[in-house]
Amino acid sequence: MENHLLELANDIVRKAMAGGATDAECTIGEGDEFSAEVRMRQIESLKEAGSRGMGLRILMGQRTGSSYTSDLSGEGIERLVRSAFEIADITTEDPHAGLPDAGELGAIEGDLKLYSMGIENLDPERNIELAKCAEAAAFAADPRISNSDGASFESGTSRHVFANSRGFSGEYRTSSCSLSASPVARDGDSMERDYWFTMARDPEGLQPAQEVGRIAAHRALRRLHPVKVETQKVPVVFEPRTARSLLDSIFDAVHGMSIYRQESFLAGKLGEKVAGEIVTVIDDATIPGLFGTSPFDDEGVPSRRTPVIERGVLKSYLLNTYAARKLGMKTTGNASRGLAGNAGIGYGNFFLEAGVETPDRIIAGISNGFFVTSLMGFGVNIVTGDYSRGATGLWIRDGELAFPVSEVTIAGNLRDMLLSVEAVGSDLEFCGALAAPTLKIGEMTVGGK
Amino acid sequence: MRFADSIFAGRFGIATQDLDRYLAAALAYGGDYADLYFEYLLTSSIGIDESIVKSASQGVSMGVGVRVIAGERTGYAYSDDLSPKKILKAANVAAHIASGPGKIGKFDLHEGVRHNLYPVLTAPTETALADRVELVKRADHAARAYDPRVFQVQAAYADNLRHVLVVTSEGVLTVDRQPLARLSVHALARRNGETPQQGHSGGGGRVDLDFFLKDKPPEHFAREAAREAIAMLDAAEAPAGEMTVVLGPGWPGILLHEAVGHGLEADFNRKGVSAFSGRIGQKVAGELCTVVDDGTIHSRRGSLNVDDEGHPTGRNVLIENGILRGYLQDKLSSTLMGSASTGSGRRESYAHIPMPRMTNTFMLAGQSDPEEIVRSVPKGLYCANFGGGQVDITNGNFVFSASESYLIEDGKITRPVRDASLIGNGPEALKYVSMVGHDLRLDEGIGICGKAGQSVPVGLGIPTVKIDRMTVGGTA
């Protein structure tokens, strides 16, 4: 049963070519999911299912057409092919449209450890127990943990299949599982919720359930009785889980599509200093076992490692074939797509390299500042770099975490923020495809009272 | 539309006896309640960039979700294959949430009551692609023609037609055909070599294609996006700290969605994890504030004839003259809380478990003249448009991001300022509403609400309001 989807993808490419397409590519995705949620020591929900779908993209010269379906029957496939041709009729000639050159296609060799047999035949009872155990550990941590928004265990597998008319055909499987807990702390009229989660390719790779519950409880407890501080400009420290969101913004800013449209504050800045000397940002989809790893990208180009910012200097954008052609460059193997439409751009494992200072030392060097533990909202403008988000965290007073703060904003401009990264922590850890260690930004505006 | 005329009875040959059989399988181990949600979804999208129609696609997805409720427990399974064998398999998986003797396999299915809010004969998805591609071309042209400083335009048109069939063990059998379309435009403007600025606009609803040809043509959205981008070219740094904020009418209603809407969804309140838990009957807003969630407005993006649990949608008063009146209920929470569903059970697709969600959420109009509201502010911020927002329902803090705002100085709207987030606390923020305009406006119809990984289309609205105290997250 393994190979019939690959066979099917090749068949559909052949059908499209026989129908008159000048090029074609077919993506098939298949997946299974399981989730168990518990709350207040009881099972709240169990979910289990599998699904699949396929997408076709054709070129008629320099016009493209795209279609998708979850109907893999003969009739469904006929309709899929017909739909793509109908669409190609209404799109415009685009001189840069096209598949990668045959010489660019391929996959990296070796076991990337994306799939673990341990995910098969998981015992649902054991998974439910893990979630219950995480929640129980949170309750046990402190009597003020008196309520819970639940704990959950999730697992899934997926198969990615891709074939095109230039001779590429490949597939890979992935597995994942995760465990999370979301306890609620209450003390007087203050109520706060936080969470912690762990994610791995194999259940053995998960953090112990007790630890997940304990950390989640600690995070919720330290938010109790927050203060809204006065509006002021201070150094801001992002802990790893919030620093990751800055990496997300950097990705948006080096996204090839935003570059050629000049809708990024980093457009046209290749070779220039865009960040502090201690900042090095890498995209690497070749690291075995991680969540951003794959043998080939969604256009069939081998995955690779791309230094994006090296010691503060912008070295590369992240590109698919289309953005590369627009910019007169080569693809960086970052094509990313769902079933429908043209390939977009995605990251592999996108991370900021660890520095030398421990988080404690970074905090110890600050007399008055803000340690950010959660961020809210979407106030990041990649065109201008303007940055303004809701924040929660702990106030730093004389080198120590002094009291919780909430209902404030942090604001600045990403351009200045990157240039004023003054410290990079040694605590880089991967939990998902984006990762960053603790980061200290020289100065931002905290908006409060 | 009746079941017999639906795509499920016609194309997929599903008969009521089959539905009885699937429900019986779902309740084979007991369980208090079961439902089936069949979905057949057609979508299309067309995008223009650099005046080239670079991407377009169309597709179909289908499936059925089977849910079984036993006490507080939910079992859920789905299949993207509508064959009896696969549906029975899903029913069997979901059934295992219960562990007792089975229920009788006869459910007296009858077609339920529903509204007729979008009587669209030909859905946009069913029209010629050639007609729809014109919409993005016209939008591109109009945005570029607006001002020579506009140098990049992207327009995206997307529509879908969702056929649903909901069947419950309480005997409800409902079919609905839900059209939805939207056009959005993004424009970038630049003066000489300066930093570009952007503008967004868009709209749509559960409408036919005539909406974009007659009521709200592409040029309407294109000019609005271009106007916003041009207006922002003169933007100064946004202020920081607490100040008086005036929200303009329409999309700024996102304040209500974040500040109170999510916190009043019944699942959070049943669990006691919302900042609004246990506060029905208490004052949570100024007396001028009456906030409703209304899923029954004709052709609106957030409207539904029936919710995704087969229950007719309604007009639900959340806050009346400042007093908290009610929660948004779905089947599970209303059963456990001993109240009735408010028709608020929604889900992203057949692969998702329903939960209480908003539909179209807005504040009723007040008495004040909008100009008089601005005149009453010596120093503050006027917000004309926003991007997205987010809320922490437990402590009640919410943010929403202003994409077009201006300083108010001596009662006059003066300089535009750069993007800034506004932050407040749900049960407190609306207590500072001191003036409400008579100019209630609903948004143009582009809202998407996310909760627990599920996205659903929603509507928003608000008249011009004055909030005496709110924190603005600028840098100046």
Put simply, the answer to whether B420 touches A409 (Cβ < 8 Å) is yes
ipTM greater than 0.90: yes
Going by pLDDT thresholds of 50, 70 and 90, the confidence category of residue A19 is very high
HEC profile of chain B? CCHHHCHHHHCCCCCHHHHHHHHHHHCCCCCCEEEEEEEEEEEEEEEEECCEEEEEEEEEEEEEEEEEEECCEEEEEEECCCCHHHHHHHHHHHHCCCCCCCCCCCCCCEECCCCCCCCCCCCHHHCCHHHHHHHHHHHHHHHHHHCCCEEEEEEEEEEEEEEEEEEECCCEEEEEEEEEEEEEEEEEECCCCCCCEEEEEEEEECCCCHHHHHHCCHHHHHHHHHHHHHHHHHCECCCEEEEEEEECCCHHHHHHHHHHHHHHEHHHHHCCCCCCCCCCCCECCCCCCCEEEECCCCCCCCCCCECCCCCECCEEEEEECCEECCCECCHHHHHHHCCCCCCCEECCCCCCCCEECCCEEEECCCCECHHHHHHCCCEEEEEEEEEEEEECCCCCEEEEEEEEEEEEECCEEEEEECCEEEEEEHHHHHHHEEEEECCCEECCCCEEEEECCEEEEEEEEECCEEEEEEEEECCC
Closest listed residue to residue A144, CA positions, set A87, A194, A96, A188: A188
Q: Does B392 touch chain A (CB under 8 A)?
A: yes
Cβ of residue B473 closer than 8 Å to a chain A Cβ: yes
B72 touching A (Cβ < 8 Å): yes
Same fold flag, A4-32+46-104 and A117-158+171-221: yes
Summarised one tens digit per residue, pLDDT across range A163-178 is 999 999 999 999 999 9
pLDDT of residue B100: 84
**Bridge partners, A291 (sequence order):** none
pLDDT tens per residue, range A411-448: 999 999 999 999 999 999 998 999 999 999 999 999 99
Chain B residues whose CB is inside 8 A of the A388 CB are 238, 401, 419-421, 473-475
The predicted model gives A331-341 an average pLDDT of: 95
Strand B454-462 relative to strand B447-451, pairing: antiparallel
> Cα–Cα distance between A49 and B76 in angstroms, integer?
8
Pick the CATH number of B3-234 from 3.40.640.10, 3.40.190.10, 3.30.2290.10, 3.40.50.360: 3.30.2290.10
The tokens describing B300, both together, are 């609106």
d(CA B363, CA B462) in angstroms, rounded, equals 5
Positive or negative CA dihedral for A229, B417, B388, B372? positive
* pLDDT of residue A317 exceeding 60: yes
- Cα distance from B258 to chain A (closest Cα, Å)? 10
CB nearest to A91's CB, from B53, B151, B392: B53
CATH for the stretch A117-158+171-221: 3.30.2290.10
SS3 content of chain A, % helix, strand, coil (to 5): 25, 40, 35
Q: Report CB contact under 8 Å: B77, A447.
A: no
What pLDDT score does A1 carry? 42
User: Cβ–Cβ of A445/B80 closer than 8 Å?
Assistant: no
Q: How much is the pTM? A: 0.96
Q: Does any CB of chain A come closer than 8 Å to the CB of residue B30?
A: no
Q: Which of B92, B153, B245, B423 to mutate to test the interface with A (most CBs of A within 10 A)?
A: B423
Domain boundaries, chain A: 4-32+46-104, 117-158+171-221, 226-449
- Angle between the N-to-C axes of helices B84-95 and B16-26, in degrees from 0 to 180, rounded to the nearest 10: 30
DSSP secondary-structure letter at A73? S
Across the interface, of A48, A55, A65, the residue whose CB is closest to B77 is A48
To the nearest whole Å, the CA of A111 is away from the closest chain B CA by 31
Q: How many residues does chain A have?
A: 449
- What is Dmax (Cα atoms) for chain B? 76
In this predicted structure, what is the pLDDT of residue A412?
A: 97
User: How far apart, in whole angstroms, are the C-alpha atoms of residue A53 and residue A9?
Assistant: 11
In chain B, list all ranges with CATH 3.30.2290.10. Answer: 3-234
* pLDDT tens digits for range A258-280: 999 999 999 999 999 999 999 99
A67 contacts in chain B (CB < 8 Å): 57-59
CB atoms within 10 A of CB B185: 30
**pLDDT single digits (tens) A285-305:** 999 999 999 999 999 999 999
Q: How confident is the model at residue A3 (pLDDT cuts 50, 70, 90)?
A: low
Cα–Cα dist B476/B468, whole Å: 20
Specify the CATH architecture of the domain A4-32+46-104. Answer: 2-Layer Sandwich (3.30)
pLDDT of residue B101: 86
Per-residue pLDDT of chain B (476 residues; tens, 9 = 90+): 799 999 999 999 999 999 999 999 999 999 999 999 999 999 999 999 999 999 999 999 999 999 999 999 999 999 999 999 999 999 999 999 998 888 766 789 999 778 999 999 999 999 999 999 999 999 999 999 999 999 999 999 999 999 999 999 999 999 999 999 999 999 999 999 899 999 999 999 999 999 999 999 999 999 999 999 999 999 999 999 999 999 999 999 999 999 999 999 999 999 999 999 999 999 999 999 999 999 999 999 999 999 999 999 999 999 999 999 999 999 999 999 999 999 999 999 999 999 999 999 999 999 999 999 999 999 999 999 999 999 999 999 999 999 999 999 999 999 999 999 999 999 999 999 999 999 999 999 999 999 999 999 999 999 999 999 999 999 98
